[in-house]
Amino acid sequence: MTNRIIIRLIAALAVLAMLAGMVVAAANAEDGKNGTDYALRLERAREKYNGKTVNVYRKGWGYIQSKKINVCFYKSPKEKYYAINIRESLKITDEAEMEAILEVIMQNENYDEAVYGDMAFMKAQWITHNIAYELATGNPETRKLIATLAGETAVKVAERARELDLSPICSMSEQEKALTEKIMQLFPAQQDQTEKTAQK
């Protein structure tokens, strides 16, 4: 769930990933992300992830449902704001599927763009989080690095990062916001690009 150590760790790992060329490589790994091809992928993703297969609820007013992507708006005892927990986030690695799920979240009454950011902002956090988890469960060198950055074992870090929490913008430091915006430039919301292409 929400943890400042994890947020700082993800930020640090994202910087390292960019320096190592990992994020750029991932951005260039998939072909046909713009235009018609991506539009078809997004259409298929929407058929797979929609209001019937994505369970969005507020803690205390809903519950986890099996065979669905579970998204919970929750507030921990020590926090003053609601975070968005995506329980099965690590299973989703395709950007079109991320966007389809985020679309469902954005349609929920508990979502507010002014509080959580737009599609690109949330997707950037999701991608960075997945990269952080992969490094936390990677080879001995990356696990040692993570332990040094986080001040706790890689096993504990991996456990904390197993589920994604999308935090309100107000809870993020200026450094975290700036980093997220840089990730957004590398992984723009393809839905927006598709719409622009269609308008030409």
Q: What is the pLDDT of residues 139-196, one digit of tens each?
A: 888 788 777 777 777 787 777 778 899 989 988 888 778 777 877 777 666 554 444 4
Number of domains forming the structure of the chain: 1
Pairing of strands 54-58, 69-74: parallel
The mean of the pLDDT values for the chain is 79
- Closest among 185, 142, 121, 152 to 4, alpha carbons compared: 152
List phi, psi (to 5°) of 70: -100, 125
pLDDT at 92 over 80: yes
Binning pLDDT at 50, 70 and 90, where does residue 2 land? very low
Q: Select the more confidently predicted residue: 94 or 11.
A: 94
Question: Domain residues for 178?
Answer: 4-199
Strand partners, 54: 69
Strand residue runs (E) in 18-160: 54-58, 69-74, 83-86
Q: For the chain, how many helices (H) and strands (E)? A: 10, 4
- Looking at residue 195, its pLDDT comes to 46
How far is Cα 121 from Cα 126, in angstroms, rounded to an integer?
9
